[in-house]
Every structure is written in structure tokens, then in C-alpha cells.
Amino acid sequence: MAPARVFVVSLLAIAALLTACGSDGGSSSGPAASGDTTPVTAAPPEPSTYAPWPAPSDPLVSARAAGLVPETAERLEFHVHSHLDVYLNGRKVLVPAGIGIDTTNPGVHQFTTDGLPAWGGIVVPCDKPCISPLHTHDVTGILHTESATRKYNTLGQFFVEWNVPLTTTCVDTYCEPATPIAVYVDGTKFGGDPRTIALSNLKEIAVVIGTPPVQIPNTADWNQI
């Protein structure tokens, strides 16, 4: 075979090989080489977080309305943590920082958690009561009980402190039967009055309003404490 003809044939062979590689089924945009054409379903996105219920403007008034007695400093004789998740139609509701804390008092210090404002660090007692024994320092959903009295607070007290009405059938203006309401404790549906749930140590509580999230949490990231 003439050299020129050999060269042309070689080029054609290389082109055919490149074409075959370009159409290989290993591409992420096409079916597998085995011929499997089952569509790939993406995992559902995580629910977004938003804040329909801000922290109350006068937190200590709300704390007293809940039957809590504010202190001039954090009392750690009885120190436990629960975690609260709230979902509204599959979207995660922000549990605000500073519930139960007078953030305007100079004895209360501001810091950040995950880049968001948080309050606490009362090294020197405030000049007047500035913190409830039940409060949130940040937006992690951790509910802190820091009290001189060895007694569990309740979910109902926290919602009063948050200024969000809670009953057996309603969360604020969302009420059954128009809007389903469900409460879970450690991943198990709770059948009683949610206001009576004790905020005992390392308890995970999920309040689900309307359409539930993809997964109901049964624990929390306790490293956030």
C-alpha cells in the first residue's frame, strides 16, 4: 500500500476511535453502557430556614408571663438542654436567638454563632434582672434551662416566652383541621398536650405545621451546646 494511502487510512481509524470515545455511555449525562435507562432522581432539597416569629421586643415581660423569674446572671445549679425544631409546610422555622434575654442590658454580651448574632456571657451580674432561666443564646434551636431550681421547664412556657400561641390544635393562627399540627419527641409522635412536654436534658422536639418535612429529626447536634 502506498505511504499516502496508509496515512489516510490511519487518520480515518483514529477519527473513528475518537468518535466512539466521545459517545461512551460513561458520561454522566447519558444512560450507562449496560443500557439502564432508569431516570436519576435528585435528593429533595433541605427545607429553607426563615423567621415568621421574631424574638419578643420585651423578653422579660414574656418570661414572667410564662411563670419564669428572671435573674441577674445565669444560674447553673440546674443546667439542662433541649432542642426545638419547628417546620411550617416543610420549611424550617428559625428559633430566634435572645429569647428570654434582655439583649439591651450592658451586662449581656453579644457574640456570633455560625456568623449570626448570639447573646450571653454574663461574667459580671447585670445591674437588674436580664435573663430568664429558660432562654436561647443563639439560633441553633438549643433551649437552655439555667436555673437555681431543680425543675424542668415546659414547651408551653417556652412558646409563651416566644410570644407564639400554642395549643393542642393550633400554633399561632395555624389550626386544625384546616392545617394539620403534629408534635414529635425524639422522633416519636406525641399524642398529648404539647404544652406539657418537659424540657429535659438532650430531648429533641419537633413541631410540624402543615406539610411535614422529608424527615422528622429524632436527635440534635449536641456538640452545639
- Report whether pLDDT(2) > 50: no
User: What's this model's pTM, rounded to 2 decimal places?
Assistant: 0.80
Best CA proximity match to 170, nearest among 161, 162, 159: 159
Domain tally, the chain: 1
154 within some domain = yes
Answer whether residue 194 is part of any domain: yes
CB neighbour list of residue 95: distance below 8 Å, 6 or more residues apart = 84, 86, 136, 139, 141, 162
Q: How far apart are CA 175 and CA 171, in angstroms?
A: 6
Q: Which domain holds residue 190?
A: 49-224
Q: In this predicted structure, what is the pLDDT of residue 41?
A: 37
Q: Which residue has the higher pLDDT, 128 or 45?
A: 128
The per-residue pLDDT for 38 is 36
pLDDT band at 47, cuts 50/70/90?
low
Indicate the residue type of 40. V
Assess if residue 106 is contained within a domain: yes
Residue 111 counted as domain residue = yes
* DSSP 8-state symbol, 181: E
The pLDDT-based confidence of 46 (bands split at 50, 70, 90) is low
pLDDT in tens, 23-42: 333 333 333 333 434 343 34
